[in-house]
Amino acid sequence: MEENNIEVKRLKKIYHEASVEVMAVDDVSFNVKSSEVVAVMGPSGSGKTTLLSIMGCILRPTSGEVIIKGIKTHELDEYSLPEIRNKYIGFIFQAFNLFPALTALENVEVSLNLKGIKGRKAKEEARQLLERVGLKDRVDFLPMDLSGGQKQRVSIARALANRPTIILADEPTGNLDSKTGHSVIELLRELSIKEKSSVVIVTHDSRVMDMADRILYLEDGRLKNGTHTNAISYVK
Cβ neighbours, 10 Å, residue 147: 12
Answer whether residue 126 shows pLDDT above 50.
yes
Q: What is the pTM of this model?
A: 0.85
- Tell me the domain boundaries of the chain: 4-98+163-235
pLDDT in tens, 168-185: 999 888 877 888 888 888
Answer whether residue 219 shows pLDDT above 90.
yes
State percent of the chain over pLDDT 70: 94
pLDDT band of 195, cuts 50, 70, 90:
confident
CA-CA distance, 163 to 20, in Å (whole number)? 41
For the chain, first and last CA: distance in Å?
18
Contact 104, 161 (CB under 8 A): no
Answer whether residue 224 shows pLDDT above 80.
yes
Q: What are the C-alpha distances in Å from 81 to residues 66, 71, 224, 232?
A: 12, 11, 30, 28
Average pLDDT across the chain, whole number: 87
- Which residues, at least 6 apart from 58, have a Cβ–Cβ distance to it below 8 Å? 85
What is the rounded radius of gyration, in angstroms, for the C-alpha atoms of the chain?
Answer: 18
pLDDT band of 1, cuts 50, 70, 90:
low
Return the CATH fold of 4-98+163-235: Rossmann fold (3.40.50)
C-alpha angle 202-138-114 in degrees, rounded to nearest 5:
60
pLDDT band of 225, cuts 50, 70, 90:
low
